[in-house]
Structure 1
Amino acid sequence: MQDTPVILVTGAARRVGAEIARTLHAGGARVVLHYRSSAREADALAATLNGLRPHSAWLVQADLKEDGAPEALVAAALARHGRLDALVNNASTFYPTPMGRIDAAAWTDLMGSNVKGPLFLSQAAAPALRERRGAIVNIVDIHAERPMKHYPVYCVAKAALAGLTRALALELAPEVRVNGVSPGPIDWPEDGQFPADERAAIIDHTLLGRIGSPADIARTVRFLIFDAPYITGQILAVDGGRSAHL
């Protein structure tokens, strides 16, 4: 067990984050499952993974936009496992902020979860990752480069995360590889943000003519961590071709 890699996945309780955790676990890793408020789902996932392989999944709760939380999370993971081989910055907040209704709370929330958390987690994890010649994978968004109407703060936050990905690749080379995955339409939000007609228009603009699955993202994350020793500073679009044309 001590020779198996340890990977921290943020926002791991549900949806894409949970699938990333399951896929990395299936690849032989021990996973540190971060969650903010989805305790029930996080407990269930950890129980499932530990049922498959005892002591291979561990839960940590934190609000990553709070000062000191990223550093405490990394310290807890290292205290328990003594190593960290990879970090997946998946946790994200997503909701519209139309012009005229943007306030400081939305700015703090969206920038905190999408940029501040990944930055300070990466900084805290860097010494351990350097020691293991590890990797960081950031979950970005195709809307970092192609903004979506009514979501300016979210798009700015993801654009900042894209820039951070490339900057960290420079800062942490050559010991640590840093890459991003940029999803297109994967899981629709559960709060009804996209009505049926908008969903149809998005699919129509996607070259493959369908939405993707969380497994599409998880497989790409696994590739970047385990099978891409000569890739760094890159952001791979996993979007069915949606970003290939205007």
Structure 2
Amino acid sequence: MTQTPVVLVTGAARRVGAEIARTLHGAGAIVAIHYRSSAAEAERLAAEMNAARPDEGGESAASFAADLLDINALPRLVDSVVARFGRLDALVNNASSFFATKVGAVDTAAWDDLVGSNLKAPLFLSQAAAPHLERSGGCIVNITDIHAERPLKGYPLYCAAKAGLLGLSRALALELGPRVRVNAVAPGPIEWPQNDHDFPPDMRAAIIEHTLLKRVGSPTDIARTVKFLVFDAPYITGQVINVDGGRTTQL
């Protein structure tokens, strides 16, 4: 990339998304921080980045609000980023809903949320971003899950949605090449949120024991992989990289 790249990261106000945004910014990117409801966190992150590196015009990051389940809002989100920074070089579809669904009790609200955030929104946002990415010779990185290919019991709808995103990643690589690269990153066991009651300590210990590295991963592990795909992988497209400590070898 000959110019300072502009990267839009969805769900970037907290946790893995925020670490992806920080890592890309640290590598020299201008970062568009998308959020839905975490306005304070997003604005704080943008201020942190601008204090660390004010580019020409005074900012190297900015926050953008959008409800990704509102399909009509997605072209507006892309247009806002391009209007602010003049271009778009990469899209990281990170935003995701995650919760259990019991077969026999799946309803349309769960469908709309899980499939909407994990598959529908990435498709329509990628579609809106594609013309800009074609002009810049850019890329898309989708955050999937190792359970897209190896389902997690109790989460059938989430797994199906992530499987769809994995298939979409490969299909978009076919559709958007040669100008746009499309890849996916599939996290395994990454540090659980403190308030995550779905995975009690004994379950977490069992999951870690089934990794080859016998430890949990961190958001930084995901962020560094995204950075590699954005900055250092010009001949890689249509691929998925599992960042899971080797867990998939034992599933």
Q: TM-score range by the shorter chain?
A: over 0.9
Deviates more, 1:156-165 or 1:93-102: 93-102
User: Secondary structure of 1:182's match?
Assistant: strand
Q: Deviation string for 1:162-217 (max 9, x for gaps)?
A: 00000000000000000000000012143311011110110011110000000000
Q: 2:65, 2:197 → 1: CA distance?
A: 27
Q: Alpha-carbon deviation of 1:81?
A: 1.4
User: Secondary structure of 1:67's match?
Assistant: coil
Q: Which residue in 2 is equivalent to 1:213?
A: 218
Q: Which residue in 1 is equivalent to 2:49?
A: 49
Q: Which residue in 2 is equivalent to 1:110?
A: 114
Q: How many residues align?
A: 245
Q: Does 1:240 align with 2:226?
A: no
Matched residue type, 1:214? P
Q: Which residue in 2 is equivalent to 1:25?
A: 25
Q: 1:98, 1:108 → 2: CA distance?
A: 15
Q: Alpha-carbon deviation of 1:140?
A: 0.3
Q: 1:185, 1:70 → 2: CA distance?
A: 30
Superposition TM-score, scaled by structure 1 size: 0.98
Q: Does 1:122 align with 2:126?
A: yes
Q: 1:191, 1:137 → 2: CA distance?
A: 26
Q: 1:3, 1:47 → 2: CA distance?
A: 22
Q: Which residue in 2 is equivalent to 1:142?
A: 146
Q: Alpha-carbon deviation of 1:9?
A: 0.3
Structure 2 residue corresponding to 1:174, chosen from 167, 173, 178: 178
Superposition TM-score, scaled by structure 2 size: 0.96
Contact 1:130 1:176 in 2 (8 A): yes
Contact 2:71 2:121 in 1 (8 A): no
Contact 2:71 2:124 in 1 (8 A): no
Q: Which residue in 2 is equivalent to 1:194?
A: 199
Q: Alpha-carbon deviation of 1:228?
A: 0.4
Give the 4+ runs in structure 1 shifted more than 2 A. none
Summarize the alignment of residues 75-94 of structure 1 with structure 2, pairs less than 5 Å apart. 75-94=79-98
User: Secondary structure of 1:167's match?
Assistant: helix
Q: 1:67, 1:27 → 2: CA distance?
A: 31
Q: 1:163, 1:51 → 2: CA distance?
A: 39
User: Secondary structure of 1:208's match?
Assistant: coil
Unaligned runs of 5+ in 1: none
Q: Alpha-carbon deviation of 1:50?
A: 0.8
Deviates more, 1:121-130 or 1:182-191: 182-191
Deviates more, 1:233-242 or 1:2-11: 2-11
Q: 2:160, 2:170 → 1: CA distance?
A: 16
Contact 1:70 1:124 in 2 (8 A): yes
Contact 1:24 1:222 in 2 (8 A): yes
Q: 1:25, 1:48 → 2: CA distance?
A: 11
User: Secondary structure of 1:228's match?
Assistant: coil
Matched residue type, 1:236? I
User: Alignment identity in percent?
Assistant: 67
Matched residue type, 1:123? Q
Q: Deviation string for 1:87-145 (max 9, x for gaps)?
A: 00000000101112211000000111101111011101101101111010000000000
Deviates more, 1:10-19 or 1:76-85: 76-85
Q: CA RMSD in A?
A: 1.0
Q: Which residue in 1 is equivalent to 2:136?
A: 132
